[in-house]
Amino acid sequence: MTTNWQERVSLKPYNTFGIDVRARYFAQAHDDDEVRQALAEAGARQLPVLVIGGGSNLLLTGDIDALVLHMASRGRRLLCDEGERVVVEAEAGEPWHPFVQWSLEQGLCGLENLSLIPGTVGAAPMQNVGAYGVEIKDVFAGLTALDRQTGELRDFSLEECDFGYRDSLFKRKPGRWLILRVRFVLGRSLNAHLDYGPVRQRLAEQGVETVTAKAISAAICSIRREKLPDPAELGNAGSFFKNPVVTGALAERIRAQYPNVVAYPQADGQVKLAAGWLIEQAGWKGHREGDAGVHRLQSLVLVNYGQASGAQLHALAQRIQADIFERFGVTLEMEPNLY
């Protein structure tokens, strides 16, 4: 067995829900060679491999009978500096928020609205992470991934990633591509996105007169700290359901019954509904079953008060899905990856 493989490792420190399941084998990959070695050895032993980063978008429902490969590669760099347009690259295992902070320290703009998202750079393209009106696809320059079927490296352009709302080619083909490093195209001038949620208001409250990327980042960090539970204190995986995008006709039917429904018309005529509003309206906010619950401030977030199992959280999620469908005719899709 490769020396850095461990057996029967608790994954509790490796998932932000804090669920205590075990990996049959566990290893860390610090560079491409260690990734290749781990995959080759797992292949030789016919063991499945589950790649993880920060574990902030996982729901683990039982022991993992596989090699769990934790991406621990580090490194971030300016690849190309044309003055106004700068391409930066980071290794998959780089923690996301410190990478955003580093880009801001370089005087670069573009990632500020994506501040304080947990997890790693390598996982960010999986669901095209997004917040406060920006998604990584808006600043994406490319990525390098290892094809786990052929062992070949491949560079992906923006178009090839086929990003959608909390979605990508990689999410739709789980287990095929292992993302090694990601590139972003950032600017030296700010193209501020302030019209989402309370961002503009928070900047005003903070007395910001000249809006900079750093000021936006600080405002968003302060909003997020107020609203979202810190996984270090209360286990969670962020939004548990995607905001459903429904037909205009269904949105109208819901509005006729619930005039306050929170709904955002999309360019294609469909309407995005705030899943958190639907769940709150249905009375689930703050609901608790044993140690599994719905957060008391943000109903889109399921929480683990301590000893909840992944199966308990999943069962609670399924009850919420069934109730929302019955009340509103809306299907809620889970956001975290279920294993």
Catalytic residues: 166, 239, 335
User: What string marks each residue from 136 to 175 as x (binds ligand NAP by CB under 6 A) or -?
Assistant: ----------------------------------------
Rule CB under 6 A: which of 174-203 touch ligand NAP? 195-197
Task: Confirm if 244 and 332 have CB atoms less than 8 A apart.
Answer: yes
Give the residue, chosen from 225, 227, 296, 319, that forms a contact with ligand NAP under the rule CB under 6 A. Answer: 227
Please report whether residue 328 would count as binding ligand NAP according to CB under 6 A.
Answer: no
Q: Is 127 in the site for ligand FAD (CB under 6 A)?
A: yes
| Least distance CB 247 / ligand FAD (angstroms) | 24
CB of 142 to ligand NAP, least distance (A): 23
| Separation of alpha carbons 196 and 135, rounded Å | 13
Least CB distance to ligand FAD at residue 317 (A)? 15
Q: Where are the alpha helices (DSSP H) in the chain?
A: 32-44, 96-105, 158-161, 169-172, 199-205, 213-227, 248-257, 275-281, 310-328
230's CB contacts (< 8 A; 6+ apart) are none
Region near ligand NAP per CB under 6 A, out of 25-33, 61-69, 75-83, 129-137: 129-137
Indicate whether 15 belongs to the interface with ligand NAP (CB under 6 A): no
* Window 173-192: residues binding ligand FAD (CB under 6 A): 178-179
Using CB distances below 5 to 8 A depending on partner kind, what does residue 264 bind out of ligand NAP, ligand FAD, none?
ligand NAP
Q: How far apart are CA 188 and CA 110, in angstroms?
A: 9
Nearer to ligand NAP, 110 or 142 (CB): 110
First to last CA, the chain: 25
Residue placing its CB nearer to ligand FAD in the complex, 36 or 188: 36
SS3 content of the chain, % helix, strand, coil (to 5): 30, 30, 40
**CA–CA distance, 239 with 126 (Å, rounded to integer):** 15
- As a whole number of angstroms, the distance between CA 60 and CA 43 comes to 23
Nearer to ligand FAD, 155 or 252 (CB): 155
Q: Please give the Cα distance from 296 to 280 (Å, whole number).
A: 10
Determine the Cα–Cα distance for residues 275 and 241; give it in Å rounded to an integer: 7
In angstroms, the Cα distances linking 256 to 248, 250, 252, 253, 330 are: 12, 10, 6, 5, 15
Report which DSSP code applies to 334: B
Among 18, 122, 276, 310, binds ligand FAD (CB under 6 A): 122
Q: Which of residues 262-301 bind ligand NAP (CB under 6 A)?
A: 264, 272, 274, 276, 298, 300
**Residue 35, CA distances (Å) to 28, 151, 193, 210, 228 in order:** 8, 10, 37, 45, 33
User: Which listed residue (29, 42, 49, 51) binds ligand FAD by CB under 6 A?
Assistant: 51
CB closer to ligand NAP out of 33 and 195: 195
Helical pair 213-227 and 96-105, crossing angle rounded to 10 deg: 150
* Residues at the site binding ligand NAP, with contacts judged by CB under 6 A: 130-132, 195-197, 227-228, 238-239, 243, 264, 272, 274, 276, 298, 300, 335
* Residues at the site binding ligand FAD, with contacts judged by CB under 6 A: 16, 50-58, 71, 92, 117-120, 122-124, 126-127, 129-131, 178-179, 228, 231, 236-238, 337
